[in-house]
Amino acid sequence: MDTQNGCCSSRANFATFRDRDFGAGRAMRIILRKLSVVFLASFLVLAAARTSYAQPRKTLTQLSTIGALVRGVYDGEMTIQQLKRYGNTGLGTFNAVDGEMIMLDGTAYQVRSDGSVRIAKPGEETPSAEVTFFQANLEKPLPRSTGMKELTEQIDALLPTRNLIYVLKIEGIFKEVTARSVPRQHKPYELLTEIVKSQPIFKFRDVKGTVVGIRCPAFMEGINVPGYHLHFLTADRRSGGHVLDISVSHAVVMIDAISDFHMILPRDQEFYKANLEENMSGEVKTVESEKK
C-alpha cells in the first residue's frame, strides 16, 4: 500500500506537476501574446518616430582640433582629395593657414588673404577642416536680420535641440557681410591670436552668395568652435572669407542635423608637443570673432 500509495501519490504529484506545467505553458503563451502586442505597439511608435526623423545618421568628420589650430599646428595633414572622401560641404584652412577654406558642392575654395578665391588642387594639404555629405533636413526662408547675433538667433529657433551638430547653408542676398582671411605663415609659426590682429577684412554690401556654416554644441569646446562658425563665398565665386558679421536681406537656410562625429587627429610632432590641456575658450573667441 505504502508502495502503491507512494506510487500513486508520486503519479498524482507528477500529474499535478504536468498540469501545473501546462498551466505555466498557457500563462507563458498569454505573456508572449501580450508581449508581442507590446512589441508591435512599440514598433509602430518607433516607426512613427522614424517618420518624423526619417533621416539616416549623419557624420561630421573633423581633422585636428580648434585648440591645435589656435596653438599653431598649421602643417598640412591631409590632402584635399583625401578630405573629399569624408564630405562635400564644410569649412577649414590650408597648409600654413594659407587662407580660409569653404567646401561647397564638392569643391574646395581657397579665400586668400588678398581676398581672391581659387579652387584648391587635389594634392594641396589642410591641417584643419570639417566636412559632411550635406543633405538638408530642413529648408526655410529667413527673415531680414541685422547682424550675426540676430541671424544666429533666428536659426537657433529652427533647431530641435542645441545638443546636436548642424551643418548649414544659407543662400541668398546679404545686406552686409564682413569677412576675413589670414595670410600664409612661415616657420617659426606665430600664434593665430597674433595673426588675426592684422588680418585683412573684406566688406560686402548687397551681395549674392552662399554661407556654409557649422553650429557645434557648447560641450564641444576645445574640439571645435562652440556655436556658429560661418564662411562666405560670393555667387560669382570670386571672393569671400570667414564671417565676422552678416546681415540677411533675402535668403534661405538649409540645415543638416548631425549626430555622429568622426575625429581625425594629426600625427606630427607639432601636434604631439602642443599644449592642449588648458582652457582656450578666450583664445578661440579672439581667433573666430575678432573684428580688428
Taking the least distance from each CB to Zn ion, the nearer of 71 and 242 is 242
Least distance from Zn ion to the Cβ atom of residue 264, Å: 18
Q: Which is nearer to Zn ion, 144 or 185 (CB)?
A: 185
- Cα 283 to Cα 274: distance, rounded to the nearest angstrom: 15
- What's the CA gap between 136 and 108, in Å, rounded? 19
User: Which listed range, 66-74, 139-147, 187-195, 235-243, lies at the site for Zn ion (CB under 5 A)?
Assistant: 235-243
Nearer to Zn ion, 97 or 207 (CB): 97
Asked whether position 180 contacts Zn ion by CB under 5 A, the answer is no
Residue 37, burial from CB neighbour count under 10 angstroms (0-12, 13-18, 19+): exposed
Measured from the CB atom, the residue of 99 and 172 that comes closer to Zn ion is 99
Angle of CA points 227, 137, 46, to nearest 5°: 110
Binding segment toward Zn ion, per CB under 5 A, in 52-60, 162-170, 240-248, 268-276: 240-248
Q: Measured from the CB of residue 93, what is the shortest distance to Zn ion in angstroms?
A: 7
Are the CB atoms for 200 and 180 separated by under 8 Å? yes
Between CA 292 and CA 289 the distance in angstroms is 9
From 102-110, 209-217, 238-246, 256-264, give the range in contact with Zn ion by CB under 5 A.
238-246
DSSP state of 175: E
Asked whether 189 and 120 are in contact (CB, 8 A), the reply is no
- Which of 94, 97, 242, 266 is close enough to bind Zn ion by CB under 5 A? 242
Window contacting Zn ion (CB under 5 A); options: 160-168, 175-183, 201-209, 237-245: 237-245
Least distance between Zn ion and beta carbon 101 (Å): 8
**Nearer to Zn ion (CB atom), residue 259 or residue 289:** 289
The answer for residues whose C-beta is within 8 angstroms of residue 181's C-beta and 6 or more apart is: 99, 100, 111, 112, 113, 115, 199, 200, 202, 241, 242
CB of 258 vs Zn ion, minimal distance in Å:
18
Q: CB nearer to Zn ion: give 29 or 291.
A: 291
CA distance 65 to 127: 9
Which SS3 state, helix, strand or coil, does residue 127 take?
A: coil
CA dist., res. 31 & res. 96, Å (int): 66
**Residue whose Cβ sits closest to Zn ion:** 242
Nearer to Zn ion (CB atom), residue 211 or residue 274: 211
Q: Alpha helix locations (H) across 122-237?
A: 148-156, 192-195
**Shortest Cβ 176–Zn ion spacing (Å):** 18
Least distance to Zn ion from the beta carbon of 91, Å?
6
- The minimum distance between CB 180 and Zn ion, in angstroms, equals 9
Q: Let me know: does 213 contact 225? Beta carbons within 8 Å.
A: no
Nearer to Zn ion, 169 or 242 (CB): 242
Give me the least distance between CB of 31 and Zn ion, in Å please. 58
Q: In the complex, which residues of this chain contact Zn ion (CB under 5 A)?
A: 242
